[in-house]
Amino acid sequence: MRVRCSPCRSRSVGPVTARRTPTRSRRAALALTGALAVTLAGCSDGEPSAAPTTSSAPAPSTTSPSPTPTPTCVETTTEALTEDQRLGQLLMVALDTNAPEDSLDDEVTEQHVGNMLFLGGWEGADKVSSASEHLEGLVSEDSTGDVGMLVAADQEGGIVHQLRGSGFTRPPAAVDQATLSPAELTEAATGWAEELAAVGVNVNLAPVVDTVPAELGTGNGPVGQYGREYGNTPEEVERSANAFIEGMLDGGVQATVKHFPGLGRITNNTDFAADGITDDTTTADDPYLEPFASGVEAGANLVMVGSAEYTRIDEGVPAMFSERIVTDVLRGDLGYDGVVITDDVNAESVRSVPPGERAVRVLGAGGDIVLTGDPTQAPEMLDALRAEAGQDEDFAAQVDASVERVLALKDEMGLLPCSQD
């Protein structure tokens, strides 16, 4: 539930827990119920009503001015942020395991970047916790407008687990997680999430909800080759991915469904290749999109968009740059109104595009957070976003909408200075 911020209070620094919020279907059902109640209240039972009692004197007017709505916490925070601080909310930069924990200080304090990702395989909970605490210590009125950070990790399981060693359980690969019952998987995922939350991680960039057809299997470079899929049908994927999402939320961590609209039908890995990444099968109403919608209904508050191309949806355009895919299909057809984050925009599949242009194209397509594994790209990206917003009113409106979505998520997580517990 999004709350109002009267009165505002200082945000406490410490582990942030994911809050369970009503799913879109439940919110829609409540709205429909309310509308139905209003309609029924205006209907008669078919009996004639009694004649009204007349009065010789006119009744005094009871109309009074409507009270001014109290600004929401998101509105109050947005208004207080500078332009640079608002733009900084739209970037997530990586902190590599081999870099000093203060290596992102300039990005946060000078560039006002509001989100980070642990990358490169971090060993030991103490090291991760120390880095998280250092980054949280950089959050201030001058740096991020006192807005807390999304602190993310790729902790899918199997080969993809960025946090390891003492203090962390190594989750099995998704293909093995899928052998558990939903209840067993939720219980296990809750434990994994609690380990993340204990070191300051509040977003897991998982689960993968891509469906890999059985006939392709390990021939699928980005997912099937590493056992990152929960099954070979959308139904199998939904069953296990939703259980994983439930466990993440129960353990205090936000979940992310990825990689929209699916990497299961390509052969090469977008991280390392610019060819063999075209999907000639997936359509805008494909059953393979159902696990994404189902995952959002299960509580995932972020959707990651990949960089493969889809000839039957928007030929020749990487998904993260495609307005047709992000705005028309994901937001329009599927009705998703939450945060859209990119897969790494430093991937080989889009590396030929200049960094600033990558950021502009992501926001122009309808995305919200540009994730880059190379933090040195942040200044160029922010400069490009600022310049484009200054010369294009429609793009500026896109930026405003993205900032609102990111801050709304952070409000639900208790990361705004006026967020309520």
Task: Provide the residue-wise pLDDT of the chain in tens; the chain has 421 residues.
Answer: 232 233 333 333 344 444 444 343 333 333 323 333 333 334 334 443 444 444 444 555 556 667 778 899 999 999 999 999 999 999 999 999 999 999 999 999 999 999 999 999 999 999 999 999 999 999 999 999 999 999 999 999 999 999 999 999 999 999 999 999 999 999 999 999 999 999 999 999 999 999 999 999 999 999 999 999 999 999 999 999 999 999 999 999 999 999 999 999 999 999 999 999 999 999 999 999 999 999 999 999 999 999 999 999 999 999 999 999 999 999 999 999 999 999 999 999 999 999 999 999 999 999 999 999 999 999 999 999 999 999 999 999 999 999 999 999 999 999 999 997 5
Radius of gyration of the chain (CA): 23
**Res 76: pLDDT:** 97
**Res 27: pLDDT:** 38
Q: Which spans in 56-179 are helix H? A: 73-80, 83-88, 105-109, 125-138, 174-177
Q: Report pTM.
A: 0.86
DSSP 279: E
Q: Give the Cα-Cα-Cα angle 69, 70, 71 (nearest 5 degrees).
A: 110
| Residue appearing with tokens 């990790």 | 153
The candidate with the shortest Cα–Cα distance to 76, out of 369, 408, 348, is: 408
**Res 36: pLDDT:** 31
Strand spans (E) along 242-314: 254-260, 278-279, 302-305, 309-310
The candidate with the shortest Cα–Cα distance to 303, out of 327, 270, 336, 332, is: 336
**Res 58: pLDDT:** 52
Q: Which two tokens stand for residue 360?
A: 């502009």
For residue 9, the tally of other CB atoms under 10 A from its CB is: 11
Distances in Å between the alpha carbon of 337 and those of 326, 329, 330, 331? Answer: 11, 12, 9, 6
Write down the number of H helices and E strands in the chain: 14, 15
255-277 as b/e: b if 16+ CB within 10 A? bbbbbbbbbbbbbbbbbebeeeb
In the chain, where are the structural domains located? 171-412
**Res 62: pLDDT:** 58
Domain 171-412: state its class.
alpha beta
Q: Which two tokens stand for residue 44?
A: 């008669």
- Those residues with Cβ within 8 angstroms of residue 254's Cβ, 6 or more apart along the chain or in another chain: 18, 150, 202, 203, 204, 248, 300, 301, 302, 409, 413
Q: Which spans in 42-104 are helix H? A: 73-80, 83-88
Type and span of the H or E element at 371 = strand 370-372
β-strands 155-157, 160-161 pairing: antiparallel
